[in-house]
Amino acid sequence: MWRTSILTIFPDMFPGPLGLSLAGRALAAGVWALEATDIRAYATDKHRSVDDRPAGGGPGMVMRADVLASAVDAVAPADDPRPRLLMSPRGVPLTQARVAALVAAPGVVVLCGRFEGVDERVIAGRKFEEVSVGDFVLSGGEVAAFALLDACVRLLPGVMGKEASGAEESFAQGLLEYPQFTKPNLWEGHAIPEVLTSGDHAKVAAWRRDEAERLTRERRPDLWARHLGRAGGPGGSEKPGKGSAKKPGPEG
């Protein structure tokens, strides 16, 4: 069983959307397990405080190392082999390859930050890997955790009905997914591309590959550049564009 432990000040948010659809059915079937722990339960004062003013001054509050460490140690002792992840916009961007690696682990421990962020000492002392789901800032790490866990759970054995569905979607081969069509064949004057109804599987595969490359080249020049690098050369006259810059923030 793939075990997930969430550390949050809002445990009632879970399982939330993870209790529905594919993830929810897999949770009910025991394919994976989810435990949400209230960080406030490890506070030591009567107000159950988990944060304090930032050292050196500045706006907002910072989550305390001592309270967080107590929560982490209770949920994931030192010998727990699961990766420890902190959802943070300054973290390494989450990729499909990283998701696949996390699925191969026994599960994950996810810390959901709040306020201005987490005391740096607990990040280093408890060996948290910071992970970002995008170059934007959220109110807390919980929504980012939903995205990470959904991406992982759907790859667990038996969760998706057909393995090919995962193999052909965006990022699985380093490219964005090709366009999809279904009935009716003609809708508002637009027909399904003729090649898709030709019955020629080789031509369909070639069209899908060409379209995946076109979309990746146009929409994600960063992915296209990496794809060309893996392919061993430019393979044409296309030139990759510039990627986006990351703006740090408290959670995301």
Angle at 204 between CA 165 and CA 164, to 5 degrees: 15
Residue 251 has pLDDT above 60, yes or no: no
Would you list the domain boundaries of the chain? 2-153, 171-231
Is 149 in contact with 8 (CB distance < 8 Å)?
no
Specify the pLDDT at position 168: 58
CA distances from 206 to 35, 87, 202, 203 (A): 45, 39, 6, 5
Is 116 in contact with 82 (CB distance < 8 Å)?
no
Of 98-102, 118-122, 167-171, where does mean pLDDT reach its minimum? 167-171
Specify the pLDDT at position 238: 40
Name, in order, each residue with C-beta under 8 angstroms of 1's C-beta and a sequence gap of 6 or more.
30, 31, 32, 33, 107
Average pLDDT over the chain reads: 90
pLDDT band at 241 (very low <50, low <70, confident <90, very high): very low
Is 128 in contact with 241 (CB distance < 8 Å)?
no
Q: Is 110 helix (H, G, I), strand (E, B) or coil?
A: strand
pLDDT tens-digit map of 64-87? 999 999 999 999 999 999 999 999
Q: Report the half-sphere exposure of 136 (CA within 13 A, side-chain side).
A: 6
Residue 236 has pLDDT above 90, yes or no: no
The domain defined by 171-231 carries CATH number 1.10.1270.20: yes
Which CATH number applies to 2-153? Answer: 3.40.1280.10
pTM greater than 0.75: yes
pLDDT band at 231 (very low <50, low <70, confident <90, very high): confident
